Structure 1
Amino acid sequence: YAGKDDPTFATGEGAAWALAWFESAVPSESYVNLIPTVNGGTHESGLRAGVFEAMKSFIDHHTLLPRGVKLQQEDVCGRMSFVLSARLLDPQFQGQVKEKLNSREAVKLVSSQLRDPFEIWLNNHVEAGRAIAELSIKQALARQKSAQKVEKKKTSGVAVLPGKLSDCESEDLADNELFLVEGDSAGGSAKMARNKETQAILPLRGKVQNAWEIDPDRLFANAEIHDIAVALGVDAHKADSDVDLSGLRYGKVVIMSDADVDGAHIQTLLLTLFFRHFPKLIERGHVYVAQPPLYRVDVPAQGKKRPPRRLYALDEGELAAIRERLEKEGFKPDAIEIGRFKGLGEMNPDQLRETTMDPATRRVLPVKVRSGALQDTLKMFTLLMGKGEASGRRAWMEEKGDSVEADV
């Protein structure tokens, strides 16, 4: 736990934990201020990060890693079970039932408090450390072998990847992510913010063509759609077809656009493309939408115990909640600086990584069709995206226009 002289965290903040490794998966459990967090959260991300860094240092120190093998966090933590109890001064949870921790500072808190003690323990118990290392290396070798099998299937006759694609190094489908980014400016920031190991960036120039009524045979005449399909490694298909997704190169496809009306339009056009021509990607849970924040809140230091903070708000509602919370903490409204992002390209790489790309702290929404709502979804897409539906759209907007939240 943090002591009185800790410059980053308040006295008493920290964590207690118990770790164990097994041949087969064993459930874990975590708590924040004794509140059970059954859906995990950022404190668990911090624990895994601290364990991985300590384990990697131990393996490097004892030169246990075979040549050509690259260790990833999942290799070390995939067979790990833990009990974690974190203490935070001001925890932020997702939802009313407090089942998942969202506090970004918990990642650094838990990882920093865990890493050194665990590394010392490993070096004092070398035999146990070697056993954990062997299990981790075994997982890494199995993962690389699996990736090589996939590579053999996709090498023959594969199309040349788009030149503007910044691909990731990993070939592990479970970890790989493709970000479809609005604009070259945001694409440049995303390339600097990404994890090169597992995250690929494909910048999109302008708005993708409305693909709702495009003939499948003419789909790839559009350069942007062609590049998306080639990068994914999947052919266009129909919902009722028995499509082969073995060539899929990324486990997650993340649509990343500005938090404004134009960004929402680009999201809609890309979701139209996937729903109409790549429906199995949505059905099998591969498509996500990033949620970049609209506001940045700079909070000044509050004595030696509370250094300056930077908070982010998704919308006006979150901004109001942050203001209210800071007032309760004793901050005057004029002491807090609030900035509004005009777009992703305005964020520096560190901000983009923290808010939109880092799996530990970002917010992304999985895209799925509601159970039993396929026909309703088809009708809505036809109404909104069909060329011959102008009168229907007008009637719908007249009826529903008062319920729309538009950032005009």
Structure 2
Amino acid sequence: MGTSKRDSYSEASIRVLKGLEPVRQRPGMYTSTVNPLHIVQEVIDNCADEALAGQAGRIEVIVHADGSVTVQDDGRGIPVGLHPDEGVPVVELVFTQLHAGGKFDKLDAGAAYRFSGGLHGVGVSVTNALARRLEVEVHREGQASFLAFADGATVEPLHSRPLVRGEARNGTRVRVWPDARYFDSPQLPQGELLHLLRSKAVLLPGLTVRLHLEKSAETHEWRYEHGLRGYLRESLGDTPVLLEFDGEGAAEAQTEGFAPGEGASWCVAFSAEGSVLRESYVNLIPTPAGGTHDAGLREGLFQAVKGFIELHALSPKGLRVLPEDVFSRASYVLSAKVLDPQFQGQMKERLNSRDAVRLVSGFVRPALELWLSQHVEQGKALAELVIAQAQSRQRAAQRVERRKGSGIAVLPGKLTDCESRDLSRNELFLVEGDSAGGSAKMGRDKEFQAVLPLRGKVLNSWEVERDRLFANQEIHDIAVAIGLDPHGLHDEVDLSGLRYGKICILSDADVDGSHIQVLLLTLFLRHFPQLVRSGHVYVARPPLYRVDAPARGRKPAAKLYALDDGELQAICDRLRKDGLREGAWSVSRFKGLGEMSAEQLWETTLNPDTRRLPQVGFGGQGSEATAELFTRLMGKGEAQARRELMETFGDRVEVDI
């Protein structure tokens, strides 16, 4: 009998990726592979962290004609002595080990970097892994030290010489040749690079940032003495500004719940017309997808303006002002300092740290309340703008409601509807089970969140004819609740009857919950595909674990939530780095949504500022290919195809039984 592939699976089949191998095998897990900008940004961010720590006043970047890039600063220089535990020069460790750096001991007030761009610990080692060649020169303690790498490995070991007269006494210079094999395009996007470098100068008033492009002989230099205000004014150009408000705040030793130095600085400008500018940063790292610090700014602005409107009785009767009415005409630049920032993804495009909402709003709200009390006439002008936005939104919602009102069916009795009729804001949560539905009803924001509990697993509707769908009560209730009839992939559909802008699947974070997700996604893809194509379908991601952590230094006791085993491991690693002994924290696993209190469900899964709610789409494959894949997965006559899939990929899956 011949030996099959499965029979050859033995101890020798397990391969351990060492050093930088994981990055070179799967670069997309660690960085953006569209172009080399992100790996260059890792080097730039290190220089900016030196400036943030008050140790550097100048950053220079040179884009050479051969495609390589040099980044240098006048900071302290990376230490070049031997690491006490590893016995290897520290500068070599930084470029060759994924989890080596000076940014982990953040609770120590004397740490080298109290505030930096995160705790992923990959940094410039990823730059080195994806470079043909990388050279480092460090000036420190009277010595000039050199070393070089090729394909991530050391090819010129560290060697040093005394500094000569005229050479800079301190600083680090890195020159990197990105390896084109790992990127869709080897070219650096010049516009994005310019924006990135200018932002460093904006966020660090007094820092000089210089860029030289060898090919075109262009040189750009930025220095903003007035920081955020000067940058926002320059960016808005001729846009007429109604009012401008800036400020900053930082936690002190006695501030409850935050470490000294955590806080934010901001500049906000309100305008009645023209485009708006919105940029946010965490520890100098750009966050183009926003996050919880943006949510904190929005919350602080809204509460202060709402309070001003109520104090002066400016709102017409029956008009309710919402956060988007205040935020819709706001341009802002926000820079937050967070001791231990948690980002979404290795590219750190969105901040997920839940405490950042309270941190930023806690400084913005009182500052704006004070400003409005001192500038009452400007405050009234802002109130008029906000009220006009609210009235416009309300009129649009009423038009939609009149258009839908005459032919609407009787809503299902299990549906707990929301108060708002604003399609752009309304959300419907399809919740697994009455118990979880009860928690969701109590924990939701009844203004814009509706809940429809489902009884167990819905029907696999992939091969159910459209006219037989409503024989199933659950599917009937879903269709009536969302206000849309079933349709095909190529049908033209009038979405004006849609009652909710977001249809959110909310199920347990286990295998059964995943099965319910798949059955509901099958329903939407097969019978409501235009809902998917238009971006109205979402999947809520409740946590699987809760970690109860005791106080750590100035950090108070906290409840931390993890979506899966990977996030749980990351939380435990972080607690160890914070100095907690093993077992000082407790881990509990949620058996289901029904176990979560209304407050926990709101904080982790329903609150728009802190939840994770990925949007469902067809992805790169397109609708036809996605439909073919679902036929293999959900079709009754496709058992053999599913068996082949399980035989091929079964050993890659960790099954939670």
Give the shorter-chain TM-score range: over 0.9
Q: Which runs of 5+ in 2 are unaligned?
A: 1-249
Match of 1:181 in 2: 431
1:322-333 alignment, distance < 5 Å: 322-333=571-582
- 1:371 is paired with a residue whose SS is helix
- 2:583 is paired with a residue whose SS is helix
Q: Which amino acid aligns with 1:72?
A: L
**Alignment partners' CA distance in 2, 1:374 and 1:239:** 8
1:8 has 2:257 as partner: yes
Q: CA deviation at 1:342?
A: 0.6
* Pick aligned residue for 2:536 from 257, 281, 286: 286
User: Alignment length, in residue pairs?
Assistant: 407
- 1:364 is paired with a residue whose SS is coil
Shifted more, 225-234 versus 380-389: the winner is 380-389
**Alignment partners' CA distance in 1, 2:307 and 2:327:** 15
Match of 2:611 in 1: 362
Match of 2:117 in 1: none
* Pick aligned residue for 1:171 from 421, 444, 465: 421
Match of 2:364 in 1: 114
**Alignment partners' CA distance in 1, 2:375 and 2:299:** 21
Give the TM-score normalised by the residue count of structure 1: 0.98
**Relative to total residues, which structure has the larger helix share, 1 or 2?**
1
**Alignment partners' CA distance in 2, 1:360 and 1:260:** 24
Residue pair 2:603, 2:611 contacting (<8 A) in 1 also: yes
1:373 has 2:622 as partner: yes
Q: What do the CA deviations read for 1:136-173 (whole angstroms, capped 9, x no partner)?
A: 11011011101111111111121000111111111111
**Alignment partners' CA distance in 2, 1:88 and 1:213:** 51
Residue pair 2:552, 2:579 contacting (<8 A) in 1 also: no
Give the TM-score normalised by the residue count of structure 2: 0.61
1:200-215 alignment, distance < 5 Å: 200-215=450-465
Q: CA deviation at 1:386?
A: 1.2
**Alignment partners' CA distance in 1, 2:343 and 2:600:** 21
* Pick aligned residue for 2:502 from 240, 252, 256: 252
Q: CA deviation at 1:390?
A: 2.2
Q: What do the CA deviations read for 1:2-45 (whole angstroms, capped 9, x no partner)?
A: 12211221111111111111123311111112222222111010
1:52-67 alignment, distance < 5 Å: 52-67=302-317
Q: Which amino acid aligns with 1:367?
A: V
Residue pair 2:483, 2:498 contacting (<8 A) in 1 also: yes
Residue pair 2:505, 2:540 contacting (<8 A) in 1 also: yes
1:198 has 2:448 as partner: yes
Q: Which runs of 5+ in 1 are unaligned?
A: none
Q: Which amino acid aligns with 2:348?
A: K
Match of 2:559 in 1: 310
**Alignment partners' CA distance in 1, 2:621 and 2:600:** 39
Q: CA deviation at 1:69?
A: 0.3
Residue pair 2:282, 2:336 contacting (<8 A) in 1 also: yes
Q: Which amino acid aligns with 2:278?
A: S
**Alignment partners' CA distance in 1, 2:440 and 2:367:** 34
Q: CA deviation at 1:404?
A: 2.5
Match of 1:392 in 2: 641
1:71-220 alignment, distance < 5 Å: 71-220=321-470
1:348 has 2:592 as partner: no
Q: CA deviation at 1:253?
A: 0.5
Q: CA deviation at 1:375?
A: 3.1
- 2:453 is paired with a residue whose SS is strand
Match of 2:126 in 1: none
Match of 2:519 in 1: 269
Q: CA deviation at 1:372?
A: 4.0
Shifted more, 95-104 versus 166-175: the winner is 95-104
**Alignment partners' CA distance in 2, 1:30 and 1:55:** 21
**Alignment partners' CA distance in 2, 1:90 and 1:16:** 18
Residue pair 2:552, 2:578 contacting (<8 A) in 1 also: no
Q: What do the CA deviations read for 1:262-305 (whole angstroms, capped 9, x no partner)?
A: 101100100000000000010010001111111101110124x2
**Alignment partners' CA distance in 1, 2:261 and 2:538:** 37
- 2:625 is paired with a residue whose SS is helix
- 1:246 is paired with a residue whose SS is helix
**Alignment partners' CA distance in 1, 2:253 and 2:635:** 64
**Alignment partners' CA distance in 1, 2:581 and 2:322:** 44
Q: What do the CA deviations read for 1:34-64 (whole angstroms, capped 9, x no partner)?
A: 2222221110100000110011100000000
| CA RMSD, Structure 1 to Structure 2 (Å) | 1.1
Q: Which amino acid aligns with 1:318?
A: E
Q: What do the CA deviations read for 1:367-389 (whole angstroms, capped 9, x no partner)?
A: 11123433332222111211222
Q: Which amino acid aligns with 1:407?
A: D
Which structure has the larger Rg?
Answer: 2
Residue pair 2:433, 2:454 contacting (<8 A) in 1 also: yes
* Pick aligned residue for 2:266 from 10, 17, 20: 17
Match of 1:69 in 2: 319
Q: CA deviation at 1:91?
A: 1.0
Q: Which amino acid aligns with 1:8?
A: G
Q: What do the CA deviations read for 1:289-331 (whole angstroms, capped 9, x no partner)?
A: 111111101110124x221111111111111111111111101
**Alignment partners' CA distance in 1, 2:609 and 2:428:** 17
- 1:101 is paired with a residue whose SS is coil
Q: CA deviation at 1:128?
A: 0.9
Higher relative contact order (CA 8 A, sep 6+): 1
Match of 2:24 in 1: none
Q: Which amino acid aligns with 1:45?
A: A
**Alignment partners' CA distance in 2, 1:86 and 1:309:** 21
Q: Which amino acid aligns with 1:200?
A: A
Shifted more, 49-58 versus 32-41: the winner is 32-41
**Alignment partners' CA distance in 1, 2:634 and 2:287:** 41
Q: Which amino acid aligns with 2:630?
A: F
- 2:255 is paired with a residue whose SS is coil
- 2:265 is paired with a residue whose SS is strand
Q: Which amino acid aligns with 2:639?
A: A
Shifted more, 134-143 versus 35-44: the winner is 35-44
**Alignment partners' CA distance in 1, 2:522 and 2:572:** 37
